[in-house]
Amino acid sequence: MSPRFTDQQAKAINTRDVSIALAAGAGCGKTFVLTHRFLSYLDPTGEPDPLSRIVAITFTERAAREMRHRIREACREALQQCDEQHVDYWLRILRGLETARITTIHSFCSGFLRRHAVDAGLDPQFGLIEPAFAEPLLVRQINETLHQKLEERDEDALALIREYGLERTSQHIQQMVYQRFQIETHQFELQDVPQAAESWIQYYKEIFQPALIKELMESNALKRVHEVLSNNVCGAPKMEERRKIIVSILDQFTEWPNPLAPLQEIRENLNLKGARANHWEEDSTQEELKLLFKSVKDDIDKILEFDSILEDDIEPIIELGQQLFRLGQHASWAYAEYKREQGLLDFDDLLLLTRNLLRDLKSLRIRAADGIEYLMVDEFQDTDPVQTDVVRFLCEQQLLTGKLFLVGDVKQSIYRFRRADPQVFLSLRQEVPEKGRLPLSTNFRSQPEILRFVNVLFFDEVEENYEALQPFSPIQLTPTPTIEFLWADENSWEKKANASVRRRIEAETIAHRIQQMLQDETPRIRTRDPETNESILRRTEPGDIVILFRAMSNVGLYEEALRNLDLDYYLVGGRAFYAQQEVFDFINICQVLDDPTDEISLAGVLRSPFFGLDDDTIFSLKYQPKSSGEEHSLLQAITTEPPAHLPPEQQQQIRQAARVLTELRSQKDQWTLVKLFRYLLEETGYDASLLHEFMGARKVANLRKLIDMARQFDRSGLYTLSDFVVRLKTSLREESKEELATTHPETSDVVRLMTVHQSKGLEFPVVIVSDCAWEPSPQHSAVAFHPHLGPLVSPPTKQGESKKSLGQQINHQEEKWADKEEYKRLFYVATTRAADILMLSAAFESGKSLSSPWMQLLERKFDLQTGLLKGDPLLGQIAKPGLNRDEIPHVKVWREKPEIRRDQSTQTTRRIPLSEFEKLVADAEPISLPELLTPIDPSLGGQQVFSVSLIEQVVEQLFQHETELPKPDRSETSLSSIKTVPTTTVDQATTLGDIVHAVTERLQLDQDIDLTQEINRACEQLHVPVKEEVRQRAKTCLNAFVSSNLMEEWRTAREIHRELDFLLKWPPGKTGETTKKGEEPILISGQIDCLFQTENGGWRMWDYKTGIRSDKAYLLHHYRLQLTLYAAAVEQLLGTVPERMELIHLGQQMTPIEYMLYPETVTDLYQQVSQAIDYLRSGQPLPTG
């Protein structure tokens, strides 16, 4: 039986004598049309072997397999129904389908180059380098090229290293080589520097500046300013005068010869000085204009700032870009020569060489075009200019006359990071005669309510002439509303809570809504009646639901929320693989094997589950002197007999580490990577230890994936251990997109979590688009290539300052514009995945300006609080002119967490068959032991290591009556200031100190720091809720520190050690002294906040305090014991006490308080410490006050 086609499908399948450019909307059955267009080329009465003359190019291997499968099924059906005389034809077609040219563009180019290897100068048996494995080879060639150029005293290399240093120059060259594809695409050639400067200025004035001004003139803020000021008269005379000036300029803006002059005049008049709310017809006008004026002034300032950059000398930065370009070209040539010698190509080579071969050899181009009668290309919106050139060359003279059939949808172009350019589809479609420019807008996926919402939301947003999606069936089966705004309850977080806190609450809201849906027995999901084949409804199941993410950066919060409600889920991919601790551990072990002098990596290996050494042990290994008094390396320390004072189990682990690492080092050049890793796992039980950690099954799955990656490296035969290290470290640095390993099969009946990109081409009954309130963060590369401006590089930072590059600023702004458009297309793809129910989820504060592109788009069309259309809720003419009332979507808005049933008696528990028990146990996550089964803490008797804080506690209790604390200095703290201090609990005080210490440890001396961001990061790492008042107090403390002269002292220091752990041998003695035979030394452990060496060679020590009391006498008395022990530790380490020690009190102001070491005080404190240690070693309970 022949399938029934819609009118649009029939035209797309049957139109001949003209090439077809089909604009296929989401869910409109483009694969069905592609398949039947392909079948229409197969005619039993025509050519006997048509498959050899047809080429179908798809975007992915999965799409190629699906298309081949559909064609095969259709051919089998044709075979069953055909006349006897045509049986042989259809059998021949079926046999030939496996070799039919239904493939991806890269596979097509690979086959083409092998067939024409002689013309291309290639080995026909060339190998392909996977993108993940190309990087180490490229880095190797870049480093070799740079070193060679330095040996040759190359002027470009020397100049760049003078400006950027060796490491950054190497990184810049690598980034420039990555622009190879764009450079080849545009066949770019360098100009003289003065000529290039003229080109920059010309491009800025003729193209970029008009675009910048156009953006301003079309902005909602300026349009609204014009509207409000045109329709309102102000009662304040001076404001009324300014109002008239602004309106007059905007009315006649296009008549101004120089647009900057009117913009500056508008800028000067955008103020409300002298006007009050009652001067306007409506009081609200004043507040609205206040916000609008600020927004417009910011936009005008941006334009004027660009003009100020134009006044700078741009030739030096152009010269740097050209020097980098030339070095990048040399590295590219070296990389190409290496690949040629090895008989290898990468994926970019496939496209570029095919394009170049077709472009440069006319006879070959004609032969290739003659060998193809029909060329079909799917997902053309995701192609790039090089792929478009290949298509044009293969069509030759028949580009527009019926040879080409291409399918695309500009609204679904979401692969800019793969160089996809939607403009190439639009341009080629415009070339096709009107007869061949066909739409495909009948949607077979989504119910009418979802399509109504999508059409209203994206009308005039994602393409110039938006083609509305029409439902194939006009019947809405699922009860409305099927569109939901799932807004997290803003009363659930504190004012000014950070994004992580808000996302956590949003995640909980999503989890509750999912649980509520699963508990709801109302049929809402379409299915087919097996008897009548008609659409009916059933209740929602876990496998119906998908949560979509723009990126996987915060997916852990959503996983946690699902786990808390015992909702099973399946995580499909993400970017977080290289950020997992188990991957860090393997990076460290590989680095140690490759470079045993890397002590940071070695310390990471030793403290990881590989060997389980604690920090005190590692410190002791590194800083415990030999009998000669000399320190030794960490590697030497583990290969000698462990110090006797360490616990026996730690000594055993040290010996184990030495044995395993020695064996691995001796075999690293003989064994494969996989054999090295397997030996490591067998000897350390690392994989078993991972199972006992949180998400242990995931960690082990990631471990297996890492070993599989190593196996691929081994198979290539090209790579060394060093290359594998480069691969992992580069991927970590650049946050490469590598999926986490999975622990559930994809077909399980569980909730799925995936990115919008991964959902492309898929559909789901229930789609939840999460984190709609995300805010874009600038992702500006230091190196770029612009088709008009050429190579771009950010100016070097000198004396803490960096000039702005006109070229880079233009490129950044144009990238921002392009990203803005793609964000909307990404949102379109996300919303059109839904078949029955669509939910949009976010956490934001109502009444505040929204900076998220998705929320801004929603706010333009809908009232976020009611779900009604914006401006005209009854007729919808503002949101979408011409909209019929029955096309207005119904939206349910949630502002509170959905309620779920907690009564366990209402839940049904499935009984597990015995046959499934083994798998259930294997898949189960380990949990912590009950408290009764945990080990009992041993007593302190016989202990050899004591912390400074423990000793302080004991001394305070033992000698509390011998000393009296100084009373607060009333001259330093006024009564009013005491009243304004917020009440802080002990826990909050501890948290405050932890935050301040964490941020000061990460402070970069040569970079500006975003204190709010760093404080939020520190709070997230604490894994406990942190109140806003604590965050604000931390910011106050850190502001005081950053704005003080202490930062300058850091910048001029020779050496800086922050958060310095120590083990102080007690009692302190001369370096080299040993304890009595058979007696283990007593050690005091602690951590010094900051120890640094000044310009004149002296050492200074700081200890930060964040308490409420800041009076000098109290602080010096309270912390005298701590500081004295710190001084002893420094003396043991350096052979001298610090020349100056200071308590740094951080509050509203920074207060440094110097502590002096007086011999009599030190003697008394030493005696108290010794008595406290004797008390602790006696095994008696800790004293209480």
Which segments within 233-373 are labelled E, that is strand? Answer: 344-345
Q: Say if residues 550 and 574 touch (Cβ distance below 8 Å).
A: no
Spatial distance between the Cα atoms of 595 and 613, rounded to a whole number of angstroms: 21
The DSSP bridge partners found for residue 470 are: 442
Spatial distance between the Cα atoms of 97 and 76, rounded to a whole number of angstroms: 12
The CB density around residue 168, as the number of other CB atoms within 10 Å, is 15
| Amino acid present at 482 | T
The DSSP bridge partners found for residue 1102 are: 1090, 1142
Maximal C-alpha separation, the chain: 115
Spatial distance between the Cα atoms of 824 and 422, rounded to a whole number of angstroms: 13
Question: DSSP label at 204?
Answer: I
The per-residue DSSP string of 769-791 comes to: E--TT--------SEEEETTTEE
Q: What b-and-e string marks burial along 763-789, b requiring 16 or more CB atoms within 10 Å of the CB?
A: bbbbbbbbbbbbeeeeeebebbbbebb
Q: What b-and-e string marks burial along 893-925, b requiring 16 or more CB atoms within 10 Å of the CB?
A: bbeebbebeeeeeeeeeeeeeeeeeeeeeeeee
The CB density around residue 733, as the number of other CB atoms within 10 Å, is 10
Annotated binding site for ATP: which residue ranges? 24-31
Spatial distance between the Cα atoms of 1182 and 955, rounded to a whole number of angstroms: 11
Question: Three-class SS of residue 993?
Answer: helix
Q: Say if residues 865 and 459 touch (Cβ distance below 8 Å).
A: no
| Phi, psi (deg, nearest 5) at residue 579 | -95, 5
Candidates 14, 35, 38, 34; CA nearest to 24 is 34
**Tokens 């390993």 -> residue:** 741
Spatial distance between the Cα atoms of 298 and 314, rounded to a whole number of angstroms: 25
Q: Give the per-residue SS3 of 356-391.
A: HHHHHCHHHHHHHHHCCCEEEECCHHHCCHHHHHHH
Question: Three-class SS of residue 192?
Answer: coil
Q: Say if residues 731 and 578 touch (Cβ distance below 8 Å).
A: yes
Question: DSSP label at 551?
Answer: -
Spatial distance between the Cα atoms of 826 and 852, rounded to a whole number of angstroms: 13
Handedness of CA 767, 768, 774, 779 (dihedral sign): negative
Annotated binding site: which residue ranges? 24-31
Candidates 915, 848, 950; CA nearest to 1175 is 950
Q: Say if residues 403 and 372 touch (Cβ distance below 8 Å).
A: yes
Cα distance between the two ends of the chain: 93
Contacts of 734 (CB under 8 A, 6+ apart): none
Helix segments in 187-259, DSSP class H:
193-203, 209-217, 220-231, 237-251
Candidates 807, 740, 798, 781; CA nearest to 177 is 781
Distance, CA of 816 to chain centre = 17
Question: DSSP label at 890?
Answer: P
Structure tokens at 957: 């209790």
Q: Are strands 764-769 and 834-842 parallel, antiparallel or unpaired?
A: parallel
Spatial distance between the Cα atoms of 1106 and 88, rounded to a whole number of angstroms: 88
